[in-house]
Amino acid sequence: MGLLFYYGDMTHQEIREKFLNFFKERGHAVVPSSSLLPDDPSVLFTTAGMQQFKKYYTGEADPIKDFGSKNTASIQKSVRTVDIEEVGDNTHATFFEMLGNFSFGGYWKKEAIQYGYDFMIKDLGISPERVVVSIFKGDHENNIPEDRESLEIWKSFGVPDDKIIFGDKEDNFWGPTGSKGPCGPTTEIYIDGVEIWNIVFNEFFCDEHKKYLPLEIKGIDTGMGLERLAVMLQGKNNVYETDLSLPVITEIRGKELYDHENNRKAERIIADHMKAAIFMISDGVLPSNSEQGYVLRRLLRRAIRYVKSLDLPDDIYKRILHVVSHDIYVGVYPELSKKQDEILEVIENERYKFSKALSNGIKEFERISSGTNVISGKDVFDLYTTFGFPVELTKELAEEKGVELDTKSFEAEMEKHKELSKAGQEKKFGGHGLILDTGELKAGNEEELKKVTRLHTATHLLHAALRKVLGEEVHQAGSDITAERLRFDFNFNRKLTDEEKKEIENLANKAVDDDLLVTMREMPYEEAVKLGALSFFKEKYPSTVKVYTVGDWDKPFSRELCGGPHVEQTGEIGRITIKKEQSVGTGIRRIRAIVE
């Protein structure tokens, strides 16, 4: 059945211990895993063990001072979502841990390869026949030579020629993580055709312009996926059968210990996504519509959907959380069980929000998918902007229903949006007699320009106030500003009460009375998102974006990605009055407001 777990094999706790001891005995300082939220603003999540050590490779920090050694070893929790659609097969997962040894100007290729080989062959007892290695074959374009040194080292260990393969930059070159950082050629160890260990030789610093500059301190960075290693050492077929995941799968299946092929994908997605979500929440991520929060929201909502598809009881989240924090990782990440109540609250909260959005979204999906074989790109796009339906969710629903998505027109829709956003970032003069036409704002002369500028900042204040009063899930679905009025569409599924309208108006006017400073800063997109700036689509924005902040920098009243223009102080806006509130489609409300 492949289900029962035999503890005759090495447990993940034993693997951890063996690995860290091996490197401790060889002069490495053992460093705990860093948070899933890296210091590095150019990446959303920690995706590799080396990330917390970036500053030691570049010489910005001193490893002797911090660790008492130039060499370290760690087991790093990591998240990668690039392959999220593959989760459910035998090898892909979004959450994983990476065993790694690192050196910052300590040892170099000979020792790094030796350690890798010895740990595999001598400590873990892998037969050398199962081993294949790969080496960087060089890259003419960037003037990086073939890695002959590694080749000679492997040969000296007796690895035969036919077990040495050569890879290009795609396969045998690492980094940088984010926009810049240490990088270099790699050599990889494969066991039975599966990549197990990646050894990176950080010889270069890759800058924003993709220039490879030699690093003064040469560094070693290695990474070995704990889950894959466990599959191999525990004699399993896939990552869901090891002791790092099987307890969750068992909890999902309940007492009925059968492996139903039909349910396999669903239970694996639930197990993986719940694990990732639990670790993210424990590191301080909350579901939201901006980057890390959005990834978390997406993972949770996807898991929730599969829980529904398997018809599992509502207490499944609580039970999975218990298994993850108490059974699997109890000795490794004690914070999980300490924060259990908080984590559960976040999950339950999101579940509640999603169930509301889901029933509206599914109704809308049924509407647009009935009587047709193909759903238009515009409809897919609207489902996303209006109901927070991730495109992949729409895809899955469509697949289940046997209808197609017009992906071409969807892409065209995305392009259009991109053009609009671009246009929104520049003032267009001339043409049709307007001196400003960003798509959102229109003004015919200087006077109108001043008025729409005031209305534009008022729109940001109302947007922030709406979210404060109605909830964070409220986001912009459209905006249109003329010299007379602002018009703002947002997702919300009922009429606002008079009290709510008053409260929103009061909040916005309080910001006016406080005469808050409006500042604009240009910054990398990732940084903007980290600062919590409201935005829609990651793909839409250039790498550098403008961010408008109203009020205190650390605790702003409002912060949005925006092309402007805006007033300098909110006092310039004048009194904001909401004139009308109405529905303009399922789940979308529209307000009109004026400033006086």
Q: Which is nearer to ligand SER, 100 or 185 (CB)?
A: 100
Segment interacting with ligand SER, rule: CB under 6 A, options 43-51, 118-126, 355-363, 526-534: 43-51
Closest separation between CB of residue 212 and ligand SER, Å? 17
H or E, element range at 504: helix 498-513
Query: Which positions ≥6 away from 273 have C-beta within 8 Å?
Result: 87, 94, 299, 300, 302, 303
Q: Which is nearer to ligand SER, 182 or 587 (CB)?
A: 182
308 three-class SS: helix
Q: How big is the site for ligand SER, counted in residues (CB under 6 A)?
A: 10
Dist. CA 134–CA 153, nearest whole Å: 12
Closest C-alpha among 575, 574, 568, 571 to residue 548: 568
246 residue type, one letter:
L
Closest separation between CB of residue 54 and ligand SER, Å? 11
Closest separation between CB of residue 222 and ligand SER, Å? 5
Unique residue bearing structure tokens 């070995």: 224
Closest separation between CB of residue 316 and ligand SER, Å? 32
Closest separation between CB of residue 47 and ligand SER, Å? 7
Task: Please provide the size of the chain in residues.
Answer: 596
Among 15, 43, 44, 48, binds ligand SER (CB under 6 A): 48
DSSP state of 327: I
Instruction: Provide the Cα torsion 447, 449, 450, 451; round to 10°.
Output: 90
Among 88, 116, 184, 223, binds ligand SER (CB under 6 A): 223
Of 144-183, binders to ligand SER (CB under 6 A) are 174
Phi and psi at 50, nearest 5°, equal: -75, -15
Q: Which is nearer to ligand SER, 96 or 488 (CB)?
A: 96
Q: Does 222 bind ligand SER (CB under 6 A)?
A: yes
Q: Per the structure block, which two tokens stand in for 488?
A: 């703002």
Closest C-alpha among 148, 147, 67 to residue 104: 67
Dist. CA 311–CA 313, nearest whole Å: 7
Q: Per the structure block, which two tokens stand in for 375?
A: 């759903």
Q: Are 41 and 55 in contact (CB under 8 A)?
A: no
Exposure string (b/e) for 154-190, b if CB count within 10 Å is 16 or more? beeeebeeebbeebeeeebbbbbbbbbbbbbbbbbbb
Q: Which residue is nearest to ligand SER (CB)?
A: 223
Closest separation between CB of residue 15 and ligand SER, Å? 17
Q: Does 221 bind ligand SER (CB under 6 A)?
A: yes
Closest C-alpha among 340, 214, 298, 271 to residue 88: 271
Segment interacting with ligand SER, rule: CB under 6 A, options 47-55, 372-380, 503-511, 550-558: 47-55
Q: Per the structure block, which two tokens stand in for 138?
A: 């060089």
Segment interacting with ligand SER, rule: CB under 6 A, options 5-13, 215-223, 249-257, 451-459: 215-223
Q: Does 134 bind ligand SER (CB under 6 A)?
A: no
Closest separation between CB of residue 145 and ligand SER, Å? 21
Closest separation between CB of residue 115 and ligand SER, Å? 13
Query: Which positions ≥6 away from 363 have C-beta within 8 Å?
Result: 586
Segment interacting with ligand SER, rule: CB under 6 A, options 46-54, 106-114, 397-405, 484-492: 46-54
The contact pattern for ligand SER, residues 49-68, with x = CB under 6 A and - = no contact, is xx------------------
Among 52, 72, 101, 198, binds ligand SER (CB under 6 A): 198
Closest separation between CB of residue 237 and ligand SER, Å? 23
Q: Is the peptide bond before 565 cis (omega within 30 degrees of 0)?
A: yes
Among 63, 100, 388, 551, binds ligand SER (CB under 6 A): 100
Closest separation between CB of residue 226 and ligand SER, Å? 12
Q: Does 200 bind ligand SER (CB under 6 A)?
A: yes
Task: List interacting residues with ligand SER (CB under 6 A).
Answer: 48-50, 100, 174, 198, 200, 221-223
